[in-house]
Structures are given as structure tokens and as C-alpha cells.
Structure 1
Amino acid sequence: MATEARQVLVVGAGVTGLLTAVRCSLAGHQVTVLDRGAIPNPGSTSFDQHRAIRALDPGDLAGTRRTAVAHRRWLALEALLGTKFYRRVGMVTAWAAAEVDQVTAAAADADLPVSVIGPDSFPHVRFPAESVGVLEQHGGILLADHALAAVARWLGEQPNVTLRPWQEVKSVDPETGHVHLPDAETLKADLTLIATGPWSKSLVDLPMVLHRQTLVYLKPPEDLAEAWERTPGIGRIGSEGTAWLLPPGGGTLLKVSSATVCREADLATGGSPAEELRWAEQVLAEPILADPKRYTVMAVKRCHYLVDADTGAAHLKRIGPSTWARTASGGDGFRTAPLVADQILAALEDINDLGEDEG
């Protein structure tokens, strides 16, 4: 039986909001997307050169299986939009040699294809001592800003989608889902999703912690350009196993960072170049690259993201009868956005029996 068309309000045009709008539009619903800036918004946390797509979490097999589905969603989105933004170069995580059998067994239990590789496969990258890499063959790198721009173009062509950029939201009533704008306009819908990332604290009353992180963008030496083109994303490296890199390719730079430069913050604000350079120096001091002095720093970026105060992870919460909030996303917000879109569409299909859910 066909689902009745519903009115959907999406507050926030980052990756979660835009992908939710796509899913709801394809299902025949009327969708309005609002954002405080442009759509897509270069100032959003989603907007970046690239983001990692991976699934393996040996401690959470159910989560691994769910996230593996997102890989297929991105491929389907490429087909829908008729453009390429998913570099399927794989994702590697470093593990102590003694842990590898356990990790690969967990991947097999989750039906996730992986292979073990030696650190010498990528001599331009430094792996922790006594570690090996586990390669997720279905992982890869999304050209994030390219993907967001393509999604926004597609949405702008759909008759059942209304995009409202440069639209500040004054408040959201969780009980009714009504969205109040500064000019006294009130928007109503059958379902409202709040997905405004670090700026959610003014709209949603949930226990959240804001984090600030520094990202460093590098140009590799010319003689390593070909090697980097064949390099996957790599994580769990660095002095404490909390550093990671996303390789250059498709017009992007090499991006590196580490959890060691992640710190709590009060507001999502910009910082002075001198301050960010100091944090960048800490990132570059991590044992990530075999010869870091050969790399040219092209840019340093400050980013912010919210996490759930209790779990330190992402969440999707129903905060009212027909109001949902994806306010905390952490570093997983981009790769799990298709799963959030699935959950919102499922809620629409059973609008009279919404149940609380967390993701």
C-alpha cells in the first residue's frame, strides 16, 4: 500500500539533513529544508574535502552490520545523482599483531570483507610498532563537498522539495514540531528533524558536549604522488593510536589529525591563525608520516562537533511526538547519515506510531 504523502521539515542542510531530504523526496513526501547559511553551507561541519567511509568496530558487531549498509547507500546515491564522489580505495585500521585474529574474526561474523596487510605496504606512512593493518575492502573516501553540492542541486530540481537557505531558526517546539522563525513565521509539518550540528544547543535541550579539533591539509612531495593515489584511508596510528589520515586524490589534499588535539569547547567559533598553527604543530609531531618535513602545509582548519554527554557518541533521538533530533554526530556523522535518513523515512511510514529510537 502506498504511503500517504507527509510534510517534512528539516532544520540544517548538512549531510544528515540533505540525505534525509533525498530519501523523503523519493518516497513522495513534501520536504522543506532550512539552513542558517547557503545550501550546501561551506561553514557546516559536513562540508570538507573528504570524509572516511568505514564500518568495522570489533566491539559492536550489530553496529558494524548497520554501518556496512551505508556503503551501499552511497553507491546508490552516486547512481541517482549521476556523478562520482566515492573513492573506493579502502580503509585501513592499525591493530596490535596480537589482536588481529580477534579483529578479523569479528569482521567475518559481521559479514564484512577484510584483509590483513603489513605496514611495509605503505612505507610513506608510519604504523605503531608491532602493529599490522586490517583493510576494509568496501571502505573508502567520500569527496564530501562535491557530494553535498550534487545532492543540493538534485534537491533543487525536485517539485516536492523547498530549499530555504540563509534562514535562521529562532526555536523549535519539541511537542508540536513547529519551527519558529525570527520574523514571526511559524512552519508546521508532520515530522520535524533538527540536524544543525554544533549549533543545536540553542534549539534542543539534550545533554551534549561540544568538541573542537584541528585538521591539517598537506601536499605530498611529487615523487610520492603515485604512491598516495593508491593509499587507502588509515586510522589508529600515531603515538597513542588515535591519529588518522585521509589520502589525497580526486583533487583533494592529504588530511591528517589526531584525537590528541581534540578538546572541549563552549562555542563553535573561529580561532586565530596563530592558535591553530600551534595545534597543527602538535598534529604534525605525531608519528604519522615517514618523513613529514617533505610535506607542505597547505591549510589548517578548525572544526566542531557535538557528542552525546553520556555516551560520547552520536545519537538520533525522538524529542517529541513527531520531532527528532540528530544533534550529536561526532566523527561518525557523515558515514552514518544514510542510516539516519532510513530511520526518519521509517518513522514517516508509521507516523501514528512513532517509537523512541537511538542511533
Structure 2
Amino acid sequence: MRVAVIGAGIAGLSTAWGLARRGVEVTLYEQGPIPNPLGASGDHHRIIRRAYGGHSGYQRRITDAYLAWDALWEDIGASHLVPCGFLLISQFPGDSADRMRQGLADLGDPYQTFPPDEAARRYPYLDQSSLSEVSFSAEGGALMCRMISTDLLAWLKRHGVTVRDHTRVAVVDHEAGRVTTATADSDRFDRIVVTAGAWVLGLAPDLAAELTPWRTAVAYAEPPADLADAWAASPVILDTGGAHSDGYILPPVRGAGLKFGTGKHRYESGPDQNRDVLPDEGAAILGHFSPPFARLGEYRVTDVVSCAYTFTADEHFLARRIGRSTVVSACSGHGYKFGAAVGLRVADAVLSGDDAALAAWIEARD
């Protein structure tokens, strides 16, 4: 069997890995370098966590995600997970962080909760006066995206995968199994897997009713000197609670910077439009984090990076069979942590033909 995988973000790399370790002949296409800084998987680090609030199906699947990452670490010979745990910062009862904590409680997942004074003592970057409570779980941390891509790409090349980076796919004939590049090179495959992230609609336009590309950005910042050690030892911050933040933060681990991101800072846009960073965009992102963080005016923005994602309306992942192709969208803002598991599941479906099992697992509605 010959399989083309289009898109070398974490879902595409992991699908190629899942197929290659089972002896399948794989060609991997990527329009830019690997890792591609314009892709959703091209940033320095992303969160893995067990808490999911109302998305309990994904909370249950985190165990599968950890098992898949363990298999990947064994194959590439290194772990790129920083197991620093995660925080949920609640500003008032019933806010988003409180709902996340309740999701942990409902499924019996471990966490501990601190009152405001103890939370501010443990995490001195917090503004005690804005806190209701803070919960910590050790079952989470940071996945180092660029390190994962680099080592996984090397593994793929060692195991016979044909890698065509800097090669944009222009057309996919899903019925015939034919891939045509922007330079008019054409090849036919038994199966095709499209994991093109925010660029997916260019190759599968019939999914426009289900998938919407969005543009967002994250800001890297340098904290005040007296808070640097606290941030260096910090867990990832999954949810900052309150009414207006929808924020998350990754600490400066393994050479990455202190990263701030928020779901409030986004708008609909094609993946190749609006990628330039605007003046004061970093300050606008940090503005969503006061409260519950103290002294944000003393932080210095060092970089701002635009990102492109594809979302479904309910932020569940998507898998659709179109002719010889399987189209996967697992980048709805929280897809990276499942990347290795998604790759193994897609590989299973390509080989078994069980598209229904793939859709049930990836959409996680149970």
C-alpha cells in the first residue's frame, strides 16, 4: 500500500509514524520547512492536560494520548514532555476554571485546591485579591513542539518515509487518489491522509460548512526579575478563570519563552491572510490577563507570533472519508496533546478501513 500524508504538523508527522512503523510506504508532503513556523504545530511548546470541563470525552482520552506519547518517546529515543503539571485559576465560583476543576472531580482525576493566600504564596505572580481558589494537578505539562518535530522527522527518514518538504500540494483528486503539486508533479496513491491544518479547505472545499479557519496570536514576555524564578518553576496555566480572559500560559522551559495566549484574541481569517503582527498586539494579549496576574505592566513583550487554526462549531475534532482520502482536523485549539494518538488511530483506520471507529474516537462525544 502507498499512502500520501499531506501536512507535516503533529497529526501528519504522527500519521506517517504510525503507518511507517507498520511497514507502509509513505510519502509526506509539507508546503514549508519541518517544523513549519506558520503551522499550528510550529510553536515552541503546547499544553497537555487532563482537565476538559464539558468535553469529558477528551478528558477520558488523555490516557490514550499519554500511552501514544510514551510509544513515540521510545521510538525517537528521547522524551520531549516537561511534566510540570497545570494550574486552574478560579476568580469566582462557577467560572471556566471552576468548571474545569469540577470536571476533574467528576471523573475522579487527581488535583489539590489552595485558598487565595496559599496560592499567592506558592505562585507569587498571582494577584491574591482577584482569586477565589487555585487548583493544581500533576497530570499535565508542556510538550516541546519543535523538538518533537525535529526528532520525529529524523525517525521517519531513517525508516524509509519519502519527505517532500517545501512542496505545496495544489490539488487532491480524492476519488482517483491523485496528488498534484504546485509545480504540476503528480502521483497516485492507494490512500491519502489530509492533515493540512488551517489549509485543509484548499484541498477539501466540501468541508467548508463544518470547518472555519481562524487567526490568533500568542505573546512571549519577560517577567520582572524578582518573578523570574517563580515562572521558571511554574506549572502550565490551563485556565485563568474570570469573565473575560479565556487565557492560558506556558512557563519558560527548555529554552522556550514565557508564553501567553487567549481564546479572546482571534478572528476568522484564511491561513495566508493577516499573518503580520500588529503594533501593540502583544500588549493587547497581555491585557486579558489582569486579573488574575499582578504587575503585568512590568512585563516586557519580547515576541508575538501569529497562528492559524481550524475550528469546528463545537470545537470537537473531525475525521471524514472522501473517496480514497481521510481528512483529519484535530487543530481546534487543543489538538496538539492528542497528536501522537491521532496519528496511530488514523493509521489504524487507513489499514483497517474502519472509518467509523476513527470518527468515534476523534470526535470524543462519549
Q: TM-score range by the shorter chain?
A: 0.7 to 0.9
CA contact (8 A) 1:52 1:246 kept: yes
Alpha-carbon spacing, 1:34–1:272, altered in 2? closer, same or farther (3 Å):
closer
TM-superposed deviation, 1:77? 1.9
Counterpart amino acid of residue 72 in structure 1: L
Q: Which moved more, 1:138-147 or 1:166-175?
A: 166-175
Is 1:82 aligned to 2:77, yes or no?
yes
CA distance in 1, matches of 2:123, 2:194: 41
Is 1:215 aligned to 2:210, yes or no?
no
1:215 is paired with a residue whose SS is strand
2:200 aligned residue: 200
Counterpart amino acid of residue 228 in structure 2: A
TM-superposed deviation, 1:131? 2.6
1:110 aligned residue: 107
CA distance in 2, matches of 1:101, 1:253: 27
5 Å matches for 1:103-142? Answer: 106-118=103-115, 119-120=119-120, 121-126=122-127, 129-142=130-143
CA distance in 2, matches of 1:261, 1:48: 17
CA distance in 2, matches of 1:267, 1:60: 26
Alignment size in residue pairs: 348
1:198 is paired with a residue whose SS is helix
TM-superposed deviation, 1:69? 2.1
Q: Deviations over 1:125-171 (max 9, x none)?
A: 34783532232321000111111111111111112x11111111111
Is 1:40 aligned to 2:35, yes or no?
yes
CA distance in 2, matches of 1:92, 1:330: 21
2:302 aligned residue: 298
Alpha-carbon spacing, 1:239–1:29, altered in 2? closer, same or farther (3 Å):
same
TM-superposed deviation, 1:218? 1.0
CA contact (8 A) 2:49 2:140 kept: yes
CA distance in 2, matches of 1:152, 1:181: 21
CA distance in 2, matches of 1:242, 1:101: 13
Q: Deviations over 1:188-216 (max 9, x none)?
A: 33321111112222111212212111211
Alpha-carbon spacing, 1:144–1:103, altered in 2? closer, same or farther (3 Å):
closer
Give the TM-score normalised by structure 2.
0.86
5 Å matches for 1:341-352? Answer: 341-351=343-353
- Which one of the candidate residues 222, 231, 236 is aligned to 1:233? 236
TM-superposed deviation, 1:104? 5.0
TM-superposed deviation, 1:314? 4.3
Unaligned runs of 5+ in 1: 1-5
TM-superposed deviation, 1:17? 0.3
- Which one of the candidate residues 324, 341, 352 is aligned to 1:339? 341
CA contact (8 A) 2:198 2:309 kept: yes
5 Å matches for 1:178-189? Answer: 178-189=178-189
CA contact (8 A) 1:94 1:128 kept: no
2:173 aligned residue: 173
CA contact (8 A) 2:250 2:258 kept: yes
5 Å matches for 1:18-33? Answer: 18-33=13-28
TM-superposed deviation, 1:12? 0.4
Alpha-carbon spacing, 1:229–1:194, altered in 2? closer, same or farther (3 Å):
same
1:245 aligned residue: 249
5 Å matches for 1:258-337? Answer: 258-273=262-277, 275=278, 277-286=279-288, 287=290, 288-308=292-312, 310-311=313-314, 313-327=315-329, 329-337=331-339
CA distance in 2, matches of 1:113, 1:140: 14
Unaligned runs of 5+ in 2: none
Counterpart amino acid of residue 227 in structure 1: A
Counterpart amino acid of residue 113 in structure 2: V
TM-superposed deviation, 1:325? 1.2
Counterpart amino acid of residue 245 in structure 1: I
CA contact (8 A) 1:19 1:341 kept: yes
Coordinate RMSD, CA, aligned:
2.5
CA distance in 1, matches of 2:159, 2:54: 41
Give the TM-score normalised by structure 1.
0.88
1:3 aligned residue: none
Alpha-carbon spacing, 1:117–1:154, altered in 2? closer, same or farther (3 Å):
farther
CA contact (8 A) 1:216 1:301 kept: yes
CA contact (8 A) 1:322 1:354 kept: no
CA distance in 1, matches of 2:83, 2:330: 27
Q: Which moved more, 1:286-295 or 1:200-209?
A: 286-295
1:153 is paired with a residue whose SS is helix
1:259 is paired with a residue whose SS is strand
Q: Which moved more, 1:57-66 or 1:197-206?
A: 57-66
2:147 is paired with a residue whose SS is helix
CA contact (8 A) 1:91 1:135 kept: yes
1:156 aligned residue: 157
Q: Deviations over 1:18-76 (max 9, x none)?
A: 01111111122111100111222233221111101113123232321113321232233
CA distance in 1, matches of 2:273, 2:32: 15
TM-superposed deviation, 1:108? 4.7
1:249 is paired with a residue whose SS is coil
Q: Which moved more, 1:83-92 or 1:96-105?
A: 96-105
CA distance in 2, matches of 1:248, 1:233: 10
Counterpart amino acid of residue 318 in structure 1: R
Alpha-carbon spacing, 1:127–1:232, altered in 2? closer, same or farther (3 Å):
farther
CA contact (8 A) 1:61 1:109 kept: no
CA distance in 2, matches of 1:29, 1:127: 55
CA contact (8 A) 1:68 1:112 kept: no
CA distance in 2, matches of 1:272, 1:114: 40
CA distance in 2, matches of 1:223, 1:101: 29
